Amino acid sequence: MEHKLSKLKKMQTIKLSVEERSLLRIHVARAMNAPIVVTESLFQRGVHHGLRVALSSFLFVTFVLGSISAVASNALPGDPLYPVKVNFNAKVRAAFLTTPEEKVAFHKGQVEDRAKEMQTLAETKSLTPEKQKIAQKALDSNIKDLTKELGALSDQSPSTALSVTANLEDNLKENKDAIQQTIGTDDTTTEHDNAATAAVQAVDGTIQKVSQQEVKILSKEIDNITDEATTTDTTPTTDSTGDNTTDDTEQNASSDQSTTTTDDDSAFSITPDVPSSPTTTPAGP
């Protein structure tokens, strides 16, 4: 026991030299300035790795879809990417439209694009019955959507809806004439001529649908004007005193009628003859 106490006493007398103190300070300063290394658990590592993979996959898919969408914007009926153009691209663009004017303008452009595609195929002599059917199916779908949106727009702005239909008719007629010119004039009928004839009929049918929608808009506007005129005629007016002018007119008419009746009665009344009393002549003297 005494031996251990003697060792402790010796340890109390131990002191660091100047060099040792300097080295100790250097090591402490390095330890304080060293970055703190945090060791992640296996779960945290797995979560972070999954997020990195998901983000990379999302960016890759977005890039691929964007590239395909850009290439598909120039596709024509019969091309592999044409369904992407008329289905995916169009629906994505339509999802960001809010006002009736924007929706009508978009669907009007879609109808014009389908007719223009038929014209392009006809002018390049690459129009086939299969391609014509694909284009006509897309055209029928677009004109259906346009008819729906025109009905909504005509309730708010009939003049705008009518201007859209008039402009669309003119453009479709130009497409129809251009396709008609690609049909051969000789007696021989080719596959292109049959497809072009079907395309002309499809565009002509679309023009008729636009004309029918224009007639509906005009009829609705005429009905609204008629209803407003009828309501204005039947609405009673009031004078400055707040009395009902219509009631006063009816009362005046009733008074005039009663006065006329009284006058008529007076004109046709018969006064009874009252017998006069006999005159008595006094006797002479």
128: CB partners within 8 A, 6+ apart:
78, 191, 192, 195
Q: Which residue has the tokens 């009926």?
A: 77
* Long-range interactions of 64-71: CB distance < 8 A, separation 24+: none
- The beta strands (E) that lie in 89-183 are given as none
pLDDT computed for residue 278 by the predictor: 42
pLDDT computed for residue 234 by the predictor: 67
pLDDT computed for residue 283 by the predictor: 43
pLDDT computed for residue 240 by the predictor: 45
Whole-angstrom distance, CA of residue 169 vs CA of residue 180: 16
Region of 144 on the Ramachandran plot (φ > 0 left; ψ -120 to 50 alpha; else beta): alpha
Mean pLDDT by 10 residues, the chain (285 residues): 72 76 84 74 79 84 77 89 91 92 95 95 93 95 94 90 94 95 81 92 95 91 83 60 48 47 42 43 41
Other C-beta atoms within 10 Å of 112: how many?
Answer: 17
Whole-angstrom distance, CA of residue 119 vs CA of residue 178: 7
Whole-angstrom distance, CA of residue 273 vs CA of residue 250: 41
